[in-house]
Amino acid sequence: MFDLIVISNAWVHLMAAVLVIGGSFSLNFIVTKKLGILSPPEAGKLSQVVGKTFGQLAWIMSGLLILTGVARMIGLKLFSSQVLLETTYGNILLVKLALFAVIIINSVLIAKAGMKLEKLGAEGPPPADQLKAGQARIKTLSMTNLMLSSIIVALAVAMRVFGAP
Ligand code: HEM
């Protein structure tokens, strides 16, 4: 029974990682690249709606990553300063958590930029320069998060290779 819990927890952790990285990849390399076939107001509306919906999914997945990650850390007895500070595995996990914290901060900034654009759009057609600046900011932060989460996967694989102490 315990094995089933461990496997289910690791599966949920991996699925949450796959969905958030896959979604971000599709948004950044497919959806936004094809918006040009629409008129600027339609493209602005679509990217806003799609961005907002993906944002909600990403927050749910981040919550699952934290819950299943902490459960895994408890299961592997990793909440010890000796393990985290004095083992290669622990050091890698600390770097992983630091990068994850940056992803969360960026996600808050993306949500704030999205809300600002939405408010601008509610008061009539938003000034083109502010719309462009807001969309560019969201793009940069979102691409940064995609890159950071890809690095986190590499760190997770390194953790598996080193093996929990
Ligand atoms: C973007 C965020 C994250 C991604 C993409 C991610 C990805 C992964 C992947 C792919 C694995 C499986 C590696 C394997 O079994 O080969 C893994 C394992 C693990 N993750 Fe995460 N993770 C993330 C966030 C977190 C967080 C926030 C925590 C802690 C709170 C965490 C703790 C762990 C632990 C303890 C393992 C188990 C490693 C082992 O089996 O030795 N992860 N993660």
Band (pLDDT 50/70/90 cuts) for residue 23 is very high
* Separation CA 37–CA 90 (nearest Å): 48
- Give the pLDDT score at 119: 84
Cβ of 143 below 6 Å from ligand 1: no
* Separation CA 16–CA 81 (nearest Å): 27
Band (pLDDT 50/70/90 cuts) for residue 67 is very high
Which backbone phi and psi does 118 adopt, to 5 degrees? Answer: -60, -45
Residue boundaries of the structural domains of the chain? 2-162
- Give the pLDDT score at 128: 80
Atom of ligand 1 nearest to the CA of 72: 35
Atom of ligand 1 nearest to the CA of 73: 35
Res 8 pLDDT > 90: yes
Nearest to 16 by CA among 57, 75, 71: 57
Atom of ligand 1 nearest to the CA of 17: 5
- Give the pLDDT score at 44: 83
* Average pLDDT estimate for 136-153: 96
Residue 7: is it exposed, middle or buried by C-beta count within 10 angstroms (0-12/13-18/19+)?
exposed
- Give the pLDDT score at 107: 96
Res 165 pLDDT > 80: yes
Q: What angle do CA 111, 114, 119 make, to 5 degrees?
A: 125
- Give the pLDDT score at 131: 83
Torsion of CA 36, 59, 8, 10, to 10 degrees: 80
Whether residue 59 contacts residue 112, with contact meaning beta carbons closer than 8 Å, is answered with no
Query: How much is the pTM?
Result: 0.90
Cβ of 73 below 6 Å from ligand 1: yes
Cβ of 16 below 6 Å from ligand 1: no
Res 92 pLDDT > 80: yes
Tens digits of per-residue pLDDT, 103-140? Answer: 999 999 999 999 988 888 777 777 888 888 988 999 99
CB atoms within 10 A of CB 152: 19
Nearest to 73 by CA among 55, 90, 51, 52: 90
Percent of all residues in the chain with a pLDDT value above 90, rounded to a whole number:
74
Name the residue at shortest CA distance from atom 40 of ligand 1. 160
